[in-house]
Amino acid sequence: MALVPQVVDAVTVPVIAAGGVGDGRGLAAALTLGAAGVQMGTRFICTCECIAHGNYKEAIIKANERSTMVTGATIGHPVRCLRNPMSRDFEELERRGASDQEIIEFGTGRLRRAVVEGDVTYGSVMAGQVSGLVHDVVPAAELVRRTVAEAEAALDRLCALRAR
C-alpha cells in the first residue's frame, strides 16, 4: 500500500495495485490511494474456475496471515509461499549457502507438484499473506460481486465519516 500512491504520482498510466488485496476493503483502499484497480492473485486461486488442485485451495483456506514465508531471494527470484516441509527445506538450502544451481534444481517442478498433483507437503504452495482473508471457494463471478459490494460498503463508510 505504501508504494501505490508513489507509483500513481510517478506515472501517467492507470495503476493496478497488487499484493495484499483479498477483499473489497483492499479494493477500496487501493482506489482511495489512486489505483485504477487491483490484481487479486491468491484470492482468485480459490475460485471454482481456477485449475489449481483442491488440496492447494484447501491449504490456502486453512492458512492465516502468518502461514507464509519467502523463498528464492538468494537467487533473485523471491516467491511467497505457504510454510510446509518443502519451503522449510528450501529455506535451509539458502541459509547454508547452497549454489544457485542446487537451489534451482531443488525448486524445479515444485509448483506443478502442488498445483497439478495436489502435493501441498513437498510442492510449492505459492500464496500471499492475504491467505488469512480467504475462507471459501466460490465462482469467480460471485467473488467479483462480493468484492465490489464490500468495496462500495467501505467507501460508503468513508463518505459517512467525512460527512460527520
101 and 164 inside one domain: no
88 and 126 part of one domain: yes
Q: How high does pLDDT run on average in the chain?
A: 96
pLDDT in tens, 89-125: 999 999 999 999 999 999 999 999 999 999 999 999 9
Domain that holds residue 148: 1-48+138-164
> Which amino acid type is present at position 51?
I
Q: How is residue 8 written as a grid cell?
A: 500513481
Q: Looking at the structure, do residues 97 and 144 belong to the same domain, yes or no?
A: no
What percent of the chain is predicted at pLDDT more than 90? 95
Euclidean distance between CA atoms 42 and 20, whole angstroms: 9
Are 36 and 69 contained in the same domain? no
- Does residue 34 register a pLDDT over 90? yes
* Amino acid at the residue 109: G
**Are 125 and 72 within one domain?**
yes
Q: Say yes or no: 18 and 72 in one domain.
A: no
Same domain (yes/no): 43, 113: no
Give mean pLDDT, residues 46-59: 98
Residues 115 and 150 occupy one common structural domain: no
Q: Take residue 41 and report the three cell numbers written for it.
A: 492473485
Given a cut of 90, whether residue 161 has pLDDT beyond it is no
Are 72 and 90 in contact by the 8 Å Cβ rule? The answer is: yes
- pTM for the whole thing? 0.91
Domain identity same for 70 and 123: yes
pLDDT value of position 164: 80
Same domain, 63 and 115: yes
**C-beta atoms surrounding 120 within 10 Å:** 23
pLDDT at 162: 82
pLDDT tens profile 122-140: 999 999 999 999 999 999 9
How many structural domains comprise the chain?
2
Q: Domain check: are 85 and 153 in the same one? A: no
* 89: β partners: none
